[in-house]
Amino acid sequence: MTTMLEVAKRAGVSKATVSRVLSGNGYVSQETKDRVFQAIAESGYRPNLLARNLATKRTQTLGLVVTNTLYHGVYFSELLFNAARMTEEKGRQLILADGKHSAEEEREAIQYLLDMRCDAIIIYPRFLSVEEMDEIIDRHEQPIVVLNRRLRRNASHSVWSDHKASSQAAVSRLIEMGHREIAFITGSLDSPTGGERLSGYRAALAQHNIPLRDELVVEGRWTPASGAAAVSTLLTRQVAFSALVASNDDMAIGAIKQLHESNIAAPQAVSVIGFDDVAIAPFIVPSLSSVRIPVTEMIQETISRLIFMLDGGDFTFRQSFPGELILRGSVVPGPYA
């Protein structure tokens, strides 16, 4: 690989001059500039970013940590796509690190990005506790923002959507439509998001003085198959329900499929609600209602904050990203089972 020194020799100048030409810092006569560019073209020179970054102590990269349990599906694509796009708009590069499927691996992924000297880091945690992330933020000088968690201490370092409130609103809406028996399929309950959505369900019932019935709640594992299985469980429990809320779209899709196969009218009803995904699901299952989480906006906010912490400049802090309830299809009030 040809280095800056070779370019310098070929152009009959010093390394320093070549560096100036490339960076645009400092004065260089037009004449030598031309010679340098010529030499660069002739030699096919390419700067070594490792060397550059080592010298400047800046890498122009943002790191992103995501568990690979999130890698599947539309939500992740959307997240990644937007993160990459906005990062590049700010003249930086996104580096993705896999948080795999444990707290320890999430820590390692963060550590890798720090060792690579990313200028700033975005964490979309699955296993790390908020306490630990608060500590991590305190321990490091690099700007770090946490997505989808509400931090206590470093509030300005987190961007989240209030899952409990969204869930409560969605369920309340069903209640106001006349539903009293509402089934709920939770996500994995070791995930905060899963827990928050469940407590939103509980809160909505309480708010309307409807007693909570445990037999209407089934635990799923975020997948379509587990949503279908949950419906089977409900049916074998012989418990009647006129509406169903699932903690994400994938499970809602599985649930609708299972209801359909059991010859139950739900797929045509508005009364099945999911969360998160927005792309293909409603296209295929027009009856599926959903609470859309504004990923794009959240990523936008996240990256703006990081860039602000790095470069300063103008800054608009946006506190809340409420989920948006999108209702489709028409109401079918009757009990399904």
Partner DNA sequence: TTGTAAGCGTTATCAG
Partner DNA sequence: CTGATAACGCTTACAA
Q: Is 46 exposed, middle or buried (0-12, 13-18, 19+ CB in 10 A)?
A: exposed
> Contact 168/197 with Cβ under 8 angstroms?
no
Least Å from the CB of residue 307 to its own copies? 18
The secondary structure of residue 269, as a DSSP letter, is: B
Question: CB of residue 20 vs DNA: minimum separation in angstroms?
Answer: 6
Print the binding letters for residues 280-309 with its own copies: x by CB under 8 A, - otherwise. Answer: x--xxx------------------------
Nearer to DNA, 45 or 127 (CB): 45
Maximum Cα–Cα distance across the chain = 87
Interaction of residue 140 with DNA, rule CB under 7 A: no
Q: Which residues pair with 123 in a beta bridge?
A: 65, 146
| Site for its own copies, residues 76 to 115, rule: CB under 8 A | 76-78, 80-81, 84-85, 88, 93-98, 111-112, 114-115
C-beta of residue 21 within 8 angstroms of C-beta of residue 36: yes
Tell the smallest beta-carbon distance from residue 111 to its own copies (Å): 7
Nearer Cβ to its own copies, position 49 or 212?
Answer: 49
Residues 6+ apart with CB under 8 A from 3: 45, 48
Within positions 133 to 162, which residues make up the interface with its own copies, using CB under 8 A?
Answer: 141
Side chain identity at residue 121, one-letter code:
I
Q: Smallest distance, Å, CB 288 to its own copies?
A: 10
Q: Is 54 in the site for its own copies (CB under 8 A)?
A: yes
Angle (nearest 5°) at CA 280 between 267 and 261: 30
Identify residues 6-45 at the interface with DNA (CB under 7 A): 12-20, 22-23, 25-29, 31-33, 45
Given the DSSP bridges, would you call strands 182-186 and 272-276 parallel, antiparallel or unpaired?
Answer: unpaired
The reply to whether 77 sits near DNA by the rule CB under 7 A is no
- How far from the centroid of its chain's Cα atoms is residue 200's Cα? 21
| Cα–Cα distance measured from residue 323 to residue 293, given in angstroms and rounded to the nearest whole number | 5
Q: Residue 312 CB, nearest distance to DNA (Å)?
A: 17
Question: Which amino acid does the sequence have at 140?
Answer: H
Q: Which is nearer to its own copies, 66 or 216 (CB)?
A: 66
Between CA 188 and CA 194 the distance in angstroms is: 6
Tell me if 46 contacts its own copies by CB under 8 A.
yes
Interacting residues with its own copies (CB under 8 A): 1, 46-51, 53-54, 59, 68, 71-74, 76-78, 80-81, 84-85, 88, 93-98, 111-112, 114-117, 141, 224-225, 250, 253-254, 257, 279-280, 283-285
